[in-house]
Amino acid sequence: MDTSPAVDSAPTVRAAILGTGNIARFHAEALSALPDQVEVVAVADVNEEARTTFANHLAVPRSYGDLATLLDEVSPDLVHVCTPPGLHRDQVLACLQAGSSALVEKPPTLSTAELEELAAAEGTRGPWVATVFQHRFGSGALRAREMLASGALGRPLVAVCHTTWFREQSYFDVPWRGRWDTEGGGPTMGHGIHQMDLLLALLGDWVRVSATARRQARAIDTEDVSLAHVDFANGAVASIVNSLLSPREESYLRIDCERATLELTHLYGYGDDNWRITPAPGHEEDVWAAWRSGPQGVNSGHSAQVAHVLRCLRANEAPPVTSTEALRTMRLVAGVYASAFLERPISPADLGADSPFHTRMNGDGPRW
Ligand SMILES: NC(=O)c1ccc[n+]([C@@H]2O[C@H](COP(=O)([O-])OP(=O)(O)OC[C@H]3O[C@@H](n4cnc5c(N)ncnc54)[C@H](O)[C@@H]3O)[C@@H](O)[C@H]2O)c1
């Protein structure tokens, strides 16, 4: 990422927000904190009351009932796509075709095939598509990533990645939730995807997954729990649990390396205090020195990611998380479903264009 003074003098980014529901507020807050880098020029939502209230609150000059008119009249540099997942593919494609980059909420699309389509529509010098995976951007994750990459922790050996949350049946009253055709999946696709993305950002490429998915308790189309174990190209193995049935909620990530155990315990976001490092005997001094010298003081969250995205756009660089990186995570999600429903281990090569899990996360459908 360019941090040169030239970027500081680059023109401000002209941003628009598409979809003014729950998560759009986090985008608005992140943008409002950086007035010297970005100007919110327009919002759009099919719900007139929602978009008007949102636009008035943010003092955004233009408010539209549809994306096409917004793109036509405003030509923003960046569109924050905060609509339900089933709309992302068409809306991001429309942005790219109009020359606007898109920062799209997770999951970026309903399938890996759709995400590949978006990647193909990007230009090498933009417009780009980036996916919101905000847990990559807290200082703890940046520090962990640096230490793993530099070898300061030794070889990663075994990892645990739990997203054990609780959602009552009423949570699924929102019409797009809990359905394969509109949300793309249950806690694997919609909730644990954040923590799985962070796991992949830290450990790199996965090579094999064996999984189980169940609909244990909620009246929904998708799973409400999944369990998986994953082999990584670097030799590490990880155990993953994604649940919406866990009254004591927690997000937990643990990576045991040769020289230390790294742990993150939080719920929906973390600060430095949520991380813990435990050196192996004989490695205390080196591990603590490396841990203390890394980045500090930045919480995970939309603000942290949006700051990186704006800086890259102003430097004419592809913003994080690129479609290539998001594809790796989406392929793991597809791999969990494919393994669970086909009842066999799955590698990324099994998820190509001839796989039903390429175009639909549920493939030929779960048998429940
Ligand atoms: N990153 C995170 O931590 C996080 C957390 C929650 C939700 N999300 C994601 O954010 C997205 C939105 O979730 P939400 O909870 O804000 O949903 P929401 O239902 O609260 O808001 C969606 C908004 O999109 C609008 N909309 C629907 N169709 C539209 C269209 N065709 N054009 C314009 N606007 C349209 C709706 O009127 C609504 O205001 C989802 O992809 C979800 O998975 C991400």
pLDDT tens column, 153-189: 999 999 999 999 999 999 999 999 999 999 999 999 9
CB of residue 300 inside a 6 A radius of ligand 1: no
* Any atom of ligand 1 within 6 Å of the Cβ of 83: yes
Burial annotation 180-194 (CB, 10 A radius, 16+ → b, else e): bebbbbbbbbbbbbb
| Ligand 1 centroid distance, CA of 23 (Å) | 6
Please give the number of the atom of ligand 1 that sits closest to the Cα of 176: 19
Same topology between domain 5-133 and domain 135-304: no
The CATH number of the structural domain formed by 5-133 is 3.40.50.720
pLDDT for res 8: 76
Mutate to test the pocket of ligand 1, among 17, 23, 172 (most ligand atoms within 8 A of CB): 23
Closest atom of ligand 1 relative to the 20 alpha carbon: 39
Give pLDDT tens digits for 233-253.
999 999 999 999 999 999 999
Q: What is the pLDDT of residues 70-102, one digit of tens each?
A: 999 999 999 999 999 999 999 999 999 999 999
* 13: Cβ contacts below 8 Å, ≥ 6 apart: 37, 38, 39, 77, 78, 310, 313, 314
For residue 142, the model assigns a pLDDT of: 98
Ligand 1 near 230 CB (within 6 A): no
Nearest 10 degrees: Cα torsion 210, 233, 137, 17: -60
Locate the ligand 1 atom nearest the alpha carbon of residue 174 and give its number: 19
Amino acid at 98: A
Q: What is the pLDDT of residue 6?
A: 63
Cβ–ligand 1 contact at 182 (below 6 Å): no
Is it the case that residue 5 has pLDDT exceeding 80? Answer: no
Which ligand 1 atom lies nearest to the CA of residue 24?
A: 16
264 lines ligand 1 (CB under 6 A): no
Q: Which CATH architecture has domain 135-304?
A: 2-Layer Sandwich (3.30)
Q: For 343, left (φ over 0), alpha (ψ -120 to 50), or beta?
A: left
By the 8 A CB rule, do 242 and 163 touch?
yes
Q: What is the pLDDT of residues 21-59, one digit of tens each?
A: 999 999 999 999 999 999 999 999 999 999 999 999 999
- Cα–Cα distance for residue pair 236/208, rounded to 1 Å: 11
Stretch 204-208: mean pLDDT, rounded? Answer: 98
Span from the CA of 21 to the centroid of ligand 1 (angstroms):
5
| Domain boundaries, given as residue ranges, for the chain | 5-133, 135-304
Ligand 1 contacts CB of residue 20 (under 6 A): yes
